[in-house]
């Protein structure tokens, strides 16, 4: 058994099991554990369900926790099409129905936050509370992001790189660790929060051409996502933004324009990967909000 496979990893988190569900003509992978009101956790790029490993047991004390590998991620299917966040949100709606829930709380980090927002925007009746972790969905401000090092310590060049057709997969197949290490080294405050083993888990799931192609498709759908977003009403579901100091203002600015009722929480001493760098603080912020 590969030590980085879900079959091996799930054994490290007591009380959780790995499962699959057919939705929208593809198979989604998820892990589930705990009891109580359902809470969906949606991961971001370049990660999988494993990014929530630290906070899953903490949240499971009060909630049934379901962590989903999105379309194109981890052990879920990687079809050629269907990567707009509106369509990916319909995957989540079908999964919620298949699991027998009328309403769920949903939290998303990074790309998972984009899908969580689209889920609430398109299916508000299915959402109790919405939580966005560190990253707002793309809007037209994305076109003004600095892609070159114009005095900023971090500039999201990968947002543009991942929208290039074919070339990223050709360059990174078998070498995804080079990109992953660069990103983590730049975006982490606490480097040991995502250690060599964790990095190998993510590399295992992104190192082949099909996985890179599928994850790039999340970014290549951004223009359509921005267009779709213009048709959405403001989110009426009560929403919380939980962010690192660097992202706090960006996330709050988005919520102020797209959500009717929201609150913010800053996770001090953290970089982008807040649930891994500051798991206890992040879990507490989520649990306090869901009380």
Would you say 222 and 83 are in contact if contact means Cβ atoms under 8 Å apart?
no
Would you say 99 and 75 are in contact if contact means Cβ atoms under 8 Å apart?
no
* Mean pLDDT, residues 114-118: 98
Beta bridge partners, 133, equal: 109, 242
Q: What is the band of 143 on the pLDDT scale with cuts at 50, 70, 90?
A: confident
- Residue 234: domain span: 6-290
Would you say 62 and 284 are in contact if contact means Cβ atoms under 8 Å apart?
no
The lowest-confidence range among 119-128, 136-145, 268-277 is 136-145
* Mean pLDDT, residues 256-270: 97
Report the b/e string of 199-219 with b at 16+ CB within 10 A: eebbbbbbbbeebbbbbbbbb
pLDDT of residue 163: 95
pLDDT of residue 251: 96
Residue 142 has pLDDT above 90, yes or no: no
pLDDT of residue 23: 97
**Would you say residue 1 lies in a domain?**
no
Residue ranges of E strands in 134-278: 238-243, 262-266
**CA-CA distance, 17 to 222, in Å (whole number)?**
33
Tens-place pLDDT, residues 34-62:
999 999 999 999 999 999 999 999 999 99
Report the CATH number at residue 141. Answer: 3.40.50.1820
pLDDT of residue 145: 81
**CA-CA distance, 22 to 44, in Å (whole number)?**
21
Residue 77 has pLDDT above 80, yes or no: yes
Q: In the Cβ-directed half-sphere of 7, how many Cα atoms lie within 13 Å?
A: 3
Extract long-range pairs of 202-205: CB within 8 Å, 24+ residues apart: 202/46, 202/47, 202/48, 202/50, 203/4, 203/176, 203/177, 204/2, 204/4, 204/5, 205/4, 205/48, 205/73, 205/74, 205/75
* Mean pLDDT, the chain, integer: 96
**What is the tally of structural domains in the chain?**
1
Tens-place pLDDT, residues 170-187:
999 999 999 999 999 999
* Mean pLDDT, residues 197-204: 98
Q: Is beta strand 37-42 parallel, antiparallel or unpaired with respect to 63-69?
A: parallel
* Mean pLDDT, residues 186-193: 95
Q: What is the band of 153 on the pLDDT scale with cuts at 50, 70, 90?
A: low
Share of the chain above pLDDT 70, in %: 99
Residue 152 has pLDDT above 70, yes or no: no
Residue 1 has pLDDT above 90, yes or no: no
**Would you say residue 84 lies in a domain?**
yes
């Amino acid at each position: 058994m590969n030590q980085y496979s879900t079959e091996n990893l799930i054994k490290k988190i007591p009380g959780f099991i790995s499962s699959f569900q057919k939705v929208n003509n593809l198979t989604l992978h998820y892990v589930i554990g705990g009891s109580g009101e359902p809470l969906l956790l949606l991961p971001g790029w370049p990660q999988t369900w494993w990014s929530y490993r630290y906070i899953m047991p903490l949240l499971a004390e009060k909630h049934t926790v379901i962590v989903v590998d999105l379309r194109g991620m981890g052990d879920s299917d990687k079809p050629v099409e269907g990567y707009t966040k509106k369509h990916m949100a319909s995957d989540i709606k079908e999964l919620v129905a298949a699991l027998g829930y009328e309403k769920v709380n949903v939290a998303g980090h990074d790309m998972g936050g984009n899908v969580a927002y689209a889920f609430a925007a398109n299916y508000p009746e299915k959402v109790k509370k919405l939580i966005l972790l560190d990253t707002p969905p793309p809007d037209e401000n994305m076109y003004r992001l600095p892609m070159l090092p114009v005095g900023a310590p971090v500039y999201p060049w990968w947002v543009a790189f991942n929208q290039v057709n074919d070339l990223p997969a050709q360059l990174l197949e078998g070498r995804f660790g080079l990109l992953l290490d660069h990103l983590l080294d730049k975006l982490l405050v606490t480097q040991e929060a995502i250690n060599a083993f964790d990095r190998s888990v993510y590399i295992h799931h992104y190192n082949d051409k099909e996985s890179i192609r599928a994850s790039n498709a999340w970014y290549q759908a951004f223009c359509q996502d921005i267009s779709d977003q213009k048709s959405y009403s403001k989110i009426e579901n009560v929403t919380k933004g939980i962010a690192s100091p660097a992202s706090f203002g960006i996330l709050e600015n988005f919520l102020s324009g797209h959500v009717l009722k929201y609150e913010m929480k800053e996770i001090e001493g953290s970089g982008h990967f807040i649930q891994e760098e500051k798991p206890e603080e992040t879990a507490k912020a989520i649990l306090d909000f869901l009380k």
